[in-house]
Amino acid sequence: MFHSENALRRGGRRARIAAVLAALCLLGIGTGAGAQTKTSASDAAPTEITGTVLALEEEGEELILDLGSSLGATEGATVEIWRPLKLKHPVTGKVISDRFRIGTLELGQVRPSMSIAKATGTLTRTPEKGDLVILRKSPAPGKTAPAQPDAGGEAPDKLPGGDAASAEPEAITIATMFDKLKGTDLVTRIKAYEDYVREKPNGRYARVLYEEAASLRRLLEADGKPASKGVPLKGQTTRTEPSLVSFARPTAAVEGTPLELAVELDDLATGAILHVRTRGKPSYTPLVMASAGPGYWAATVPGDRLVPSEIEYFIEATMENGAAKAVVGLPGSPERIEILDAPKVAKPEKRIASAVLLTDFADYNGLKGNDRVWQTEGTFGLRYGDTGVRALRTGFGVYRGVGGSLNDLDTLGLSGRPVGLTYGYLETEVGFHRLFGVIGRVAIGLLDDGVAGGGQVLFRIGNDRETNLVLGGELLGGVGLRGFTQLELNTFKRVPILIRTEVTNQPAGTSRFQPPTENGQPTQSTEEGEVGARGIVQVGYRLTPGLVVAARLSFQGRTINHAGPGFGGAVGYEW
């Protein structure tokens, strides 16, 4: 019984080797008869002409081919249409090419360089530009035709992108290896077959050589030779544990992006386990690695485990008896992969446009009409970002008022001196930090008797889109000086609140004209106005996300007996 089983195994081995030799003979490679076949095939005329689908006409019913009469195409001839495929192996990274027949075509109009063809039956795929077409021709008289493919398949010497010539280098390598192995022992043969499969896992003959090596190992075991796996070479001892064949150690990965790790182990391994943890964590998470081809094992680390700044891992190979051996790293000294921050996609910068109209009336002397001001400003602005040039604004203002010194107005009973300025301005806000910015304004305008200029310098503490504090001062030629503190409360999104205090000698802070006189005495105040103070509260309501209306009340005075109320309003819109 024992000898009959060995005979069966040897018979199977001979069948596999015979299959490889038969393939080599088809390619005309080897010695003896094989060499003669190659010579005969080289003398034969070409049996096929290859072309390409150039275009599709009438919704794909007619195909334009680059086969013409100059290549031997004739009207009514039948050609095969094939779909070429080229894929990248997910583990080895090698490009694998092949092609699949999708039907036949009949040539219609044939011109010297092109022809029109239609499908003669049902195609398994919709034709596309770039598909291959093959016109098969009978060999010339007196020549021997090369081997034909069997029904429903392609000849074994046909590969994408070429024919037997493209497969010939590998076939020559196989034939050379077989010649060198003549008369050698089984251990040498196993080693040669396994080395070849490891070097060319996607080769045409890799699978049959891998199976042959496994069969030879079983024969050695049955004959009482060393273990079926880990066959030693001369001068080596029998291996009982799996070992690492190859592994590419990654040095970095991107945060949140799944990471695939693959390892190649020898035949003693029955599986592999990847152990991974975030650096600093006490325990590892095991991930079972799946088979990805003969000797290859792969696993994917989920993206949620890839967090900065590093992950640690080691890989164990499992054996038939259930034991495991670390082949990459160790639990106490694992391999490390740096986790890089994922590139942040910056949101496109949104520029906010705004328009504001503000009007404000203030009476400093109990509504007597001799110390008052009415100011209206319209502003258009663009906001860019929190830092750098934060905003650009431009606008106009109309300032009208009367005023004078307390002595002229309250003691002498003179009327207030009229003050008027119509002006335009440019304003820039620069953010040095998200919570700190500087505002500068330049203004120029017309007084009743000439041109005047002025400006503001303000400091904003906080962000203008949130609660913030503004401190600064203003100078308007012919009108006077003003310093103010302004708190903008944006705690309630629908109800913005503004609280402002001012110290000012406006509206009659300067005097440079001669007032009218009566009996040689002036009828209007000729002196500059004294400094007074204002308190302002403005409450707004956000009707829509961009539209805000507001009302303001104020009280201002220069002394306790020289004071009065004020009021105003504003409307603003953003888009």
Local structure of 267: helix, strand or coil: coil
Phi, psi of 216 (to 5 degrees): -65, -35
Q: pLDDT at position 59, please?
A: 72
The whole-angstrom separation of Cα 241 and Cα 264 is: 14
pTM value is 0.44
Local structure of 441: helix, strand or coil: strand
In eight-state DSSP terms, residue 463 is: -
**14 φψ region: left (φ > 0), alpha (ψ -120 to 50), beta (else):** alpha
Low-confidence residues in the chain, pLDDT < 70: 1-47, 138-168, 218, 220-239, 345-349, 512-515, 520
Q: pLDDT at position 42, please?
A: 40
Domain extents for the chain?
1-43+162-238, 45-139, 244-340, 352-574
Is residue 358 a contact partner of residue 376, using CB atoms and an 8 Å limit?
Answer: yes
Q: pLDDT at position 297, please?
A: 94
Strands 252-254 and 335-340: parallel
Q: pLDDT at position 163, please?
A: 42
The whole-angstrom separation of Cα 168 and Cα 159 is: 11
Please give the CATH architecture assigned to the domain spanning 352-574. Beta Barrel (2.40)
**148 φψ region: left (φ > 0), alpha (ψ -120 to 50), beta (else):** beta
Q: pLDDT at position 158, please?
A: 40
Cα–Cα distances in angstroms (integers) from residue 452 to residues 8, 96, 334, 456, in the given order: 114, 82, 77, 14
Tell me the residue type at 462. Answer: G
Angle between helices 186-199 and 206-222 (to 10 degrees): 150
Closest CA to 509 of 450, 564, 558, 441: 558
Residue with tokens 């700190």: 436
Question: ∠558-458-505 over CA atoms, to 5°?
Answer: 20
Any idea which fold 244-340 has?
Immunoglobulin-like (2.60.40)
Please give the CATH architecture assigned to the domain spanning 45-139. Beta Barrel (2.40)
The whole-angstrom separation of Cα 364 and Cα 565 is: 7
DSSP H helices in 27-99? 33-43
Angle between helices 2-26 and 164-180 (to 10 degrees): 140
Q: What is the CA radius of gyration of the chain?
A: 47
| Nearby residues of 85 by Cβ (< 8 Å), 6 or more positions away | 97, 98, 99, 100, 160
Q: pLDDT at position 66, please?
A: 92
The whole-angstrom separation of Cα 291 and Cα 195 is: 19
